[in-house]
Amino acid sequence: MLKNFRDEAAAEKRMPEIDPGILDSKRLQLFYAAAKEGGFALAAHALSLSPSAVSHSVKVLEEELGCSLFRRSGPNVTLTRAGARLFPMVEELLFSMSRIKVELDGGGARSDNLTFTLDPSLLDIVNTGILPVFRECFPSSRIGIAFSENYPSTGPVDFHMGYEEHDGTNLVRRDLAEESLVACVAPFHPLANKPQGKASDLMQSLLIFSSRDTHDRMMTRISREGRVPPCWILPTPEITMEMARQGQGIAFLPNWLALPAIGAGSLVMLKTPGSLGKRKCSAYWKPEKPLSWVADAFLSLLSVEFEKRLDPLQG
């Protein structure tokens, strides 16, 4: 298990609703400037506006909030208790707005390029589910992808996508999805109509895996007295599933990939003794190199794609 992680998803954030009466950001900017400069005239001078424009904007903001934000004393102003509460929130908001402008400014120093590594079993969902949408959002982005079951020890990358059993000490982690393994065979396979599979059945069949990690975990569960059943380890879950469809053996697949094929009748799920286990797919990156806005958008798209594929399987 991973240790020493900072899990950024520790607390769920509620998505804001669209509010047609939301506060005007320009008025918030003028409030912030007046509070920082200590007067409407000084804020107006700093922003190349008239003092009456600043004063009027602050007055409208106070009416919208239903409270006084400043104590006025001649040309000077000081924050009321309500103003003091509002000030740090506005400061954080303006910082975020500035960051958005920098990130989206095509003429700035920002780069849309991404370099990341991923577990080979995730290639298909990235290729078919994420890249087409991502390229629509970021047509100028150049993407570099390398395969690795663990966070690379050398070379700069924006993030790695893999599974929590893999080594990632002192990395930041974002969980993307939790998947379950299922054992599948073709409808005409000898085990397809068995009411309950046994470990001995697995020992006498060809077992097909899409990763060394899945192979090692399953061998620990089913191998007996040093006996090891014949196994294939193939490059991707999709190839593994196709071999099962052809009747080559028993394929161990993530549920989000297998269950649609089972529903379509091209595969049959074996009833195995006990659960085959679950694992979390996560993204990892170094704390000294926070995610860029573009990398964050990529991972958000991947989370949505996992949810879409898993949603019909719930319950």
Per-residue pLDDT reduced to its tens digit, 214-255: 888 788 777 665 677 889 998 888 899 999 999 999 999 888
Residues 190 and 244 placed together within one structural domain of the fold: yes
Residues 93 and 218 placed together within one structural domain of the fold: no
Kind of pairing between the strands at 76-79 and 70-73: antiparallel
21-25, 58-62, 204-208, 234-238: the lowest-pLDDT one: 21-25
Residue 140: give its domain's CATH number: 3.40.190.290
Residues 82 and 212 placed together within one structural domain of the fold: no
Other beta carbons less than 10 A from residue 142's beta carbon: 10
pLDDT in tens, 37-92: 999 999 999 888 888 889 999 999 999 999 999 999 888 999 999 999 999 999 98
Residues 195 and 144 placed together within one structural domain of the fold: yes
Give the Cα separation of 30 and 49 in Å (integer). 10
Give the Cα separation of 242 and 239 in Å (integer). 5
Residues 314 and 222 placed together within one structural domain of the fold: yes
Query: What does the pLDDT read at residue 7?
Result: 46
What is the longest distance spanned by two Cα atoms in the chain? 91
The alpha carbons of the chain give a radius of gyration, in whole angstroms, of: 28
Query: What does the pLDDT read at residue 10?
Result: 42
Identify the burial level of 185 via C-beta atoms within 10 angstroms of its C-beta, where 0-12 means exposed, 13-18 middle and 19 or more buried.
buried
Give the Cα separation of 71 and 282 in Å (integer). 50
Domain that residue 42 falls in: 25-104
Q: How many CA atoms lie within 13 A of 255 on its CB side?
A: 21
Q: What is the pTM of this model?
A: 0.57
